[in-house]
Amino acid sequence: MAKAFHWLGSATMQPSKSADPPNEGFAASGHTERYCGMLVDKAAKQAWSATRDIDWHVPPQRPWWLPRRNHVILTSQFLHGEQVARSACETLLPLLPEGPFRQALETQIADEARHVEAHARYLSRIGDIAPPRPLLVQALGHIQDWQGCAIGLVLATHVVLESEALAIQQELARDFPCPIMHQISRFSARDESRHIALGRVLLRAAALPAQPFEVRLKLHRQLRRLWRDCAAAAKADHGWAFARAAPEGRLETGWRRLQARFRRVGLIGAGEDSLFAETSA
């Protein structure tokens, strides 16, 4: 399995020199600590095994319109993305206060490792692990080489990547007939819903709406670049599969959906839409 990850350079990304020092910016409160504790309990109850809980006895199936080579490439990109998400969480972990925040993030790291294992097992059934496509390397490089505050890393992983991962899991369940992928997607989507909830808690603890406008605008520009490269990677590298599983209209609506999420978490404040318009063009 290690060969799938060699392109990352190391198992864990190195924190940016400009990232927040440990505990800075994340203020725990009774409410956020209780909510994180609830997420930890929920993760324990929802824990699943890629070995025992997936029915590996059924044969893999691929859509009739998807060539085998594209099937392997497409699934491999999911695996590489899950590994980057795990590495990003491992980088974020020491920047959080000890206690419920870290405990909740540790459950996410375990989830991401489980997703990687499940996709690797699936790939062993349909072929081999394909290397990451060049545009995916470029897109995920924004995460691997993140230069900025820890709040931005939370936005990149828990708002942009996790939200889109959940959307992709829903599309896979609809468009791919494989019963094994349906099982993996169902378990993964449940995990990712918890990850998104954790991101909201962390951003609330970091008082994102209270950050200076210039800081939030810079973060917005970085996230826009990340989104553009992820969209370009999907469109260029998934080819025919992308045309079926994620049509052009999804790209047009995807950024608007993220903009709405940015408003909800406070990256874009009330009455500031026009001020952020240039980064949305």
Residues 90-148: tens digit of each pLDDT: 989 998 988 999 999 999 999 999 999 999 999 999 998 999 888 778 777 777 777 66
Q: Looking at residue 266, what is its pLDDT?
A: 94
Rounded to a whole number, what is the largest CA-CA distance in the chain?
55
Q: Is residue 263 part of a domain?
A: yes
Q: Is residue 83 part of a domain?
A: yes
Q: Looking at residue 252, what is its pLDDT?
A: 63
Structural domain of residue 155, as residue ranges? 31-280
Q: Looking at residue 150, what is its pLDDT?
A: 86
d(CA 118, CA 200): 27
Q: Is residue 175 part of a domain?
A: yes
Q: Looking at residue 177, what is its pLDDT?
A: 83
Contact partners, residue 182, CB within 8 Å, separation at least 6: 172, 173, 176
The CATH number of whichever domain residue 120 belongs to comes to 1.10.620.20
Q: Looking at residue 276, what is its pLDDT?
A: 87
Q: Looking at residue 137, what is its pLDDT?
A: 82
When computed from its CA atoms, the radius of gyration of the chain, rounded to whole angstroms, is 18
Q: How many domains does the chain have?
A: 1
Regions of the chain short of the pLDDT cut 70? 1-24, 147-148, 166, 169, 171-173, 234-252, 278-281
Q: Looking at residue 129, what is its pLDDT?
A: 94
φ, ψ for residue 154, nearest 5 deg: -65, -45
pTM of the predicted model as reported, rounded to 2 decimal places = 0.84
Q: Looking at residue 234, what is its pLDDT?
A: 65
Q: Looking at residue 236, what is its pLDDT?
A: 61
Q: Is residue 119 part of a domain?
A: yes
d(CA 24, CA 142): 22
d(CA 92, CA 20): 10
Asked if 129 and 69 count as a contact pair (C-beta separation under 8 A), the reply is: no
| H-run or E-run covering 207 | none
Asked if 105 and 93 count as a contact pair (C-beta separation under 8 A), the reply is: yes
Q: Is residue 12 part of a domain?
A: no
d(CA 179, CA 62): 10
Q: Is residue 3 part of a domain?
A: no
d(CA 242, CA 24): 41
Contact partners, residue 210, CB within 8 Å, separation at least 6: none
Q: Is residue 200 part of a domain?
A: yes
Q: Looking at residue 123, what is its pLDDT?
A: 96
d(CA 87, CA 89): 5
d(CA 275, CA 217): 9
Q: Is residue 123 part of a domain?
A: yes
Instruction: Quote the strand ranges of 100-236, DSSP E.
Output: none
Q: Looking at residue 268, what is its pLDDT?
A: 95
d(CA 70, CA 242): 10
Q: Looking at residue 143, what is its pLDDT?
A: 77
d(CA 197, CA 39): 8
Tokens of 16: 């940016």
SS3 category, 92: helix
Q: Looking at residue 19, what is its pLDDT?
A: 43
SS3 category, 269: coil
Query: What is residue 132's DSSP assignment?
Result: P
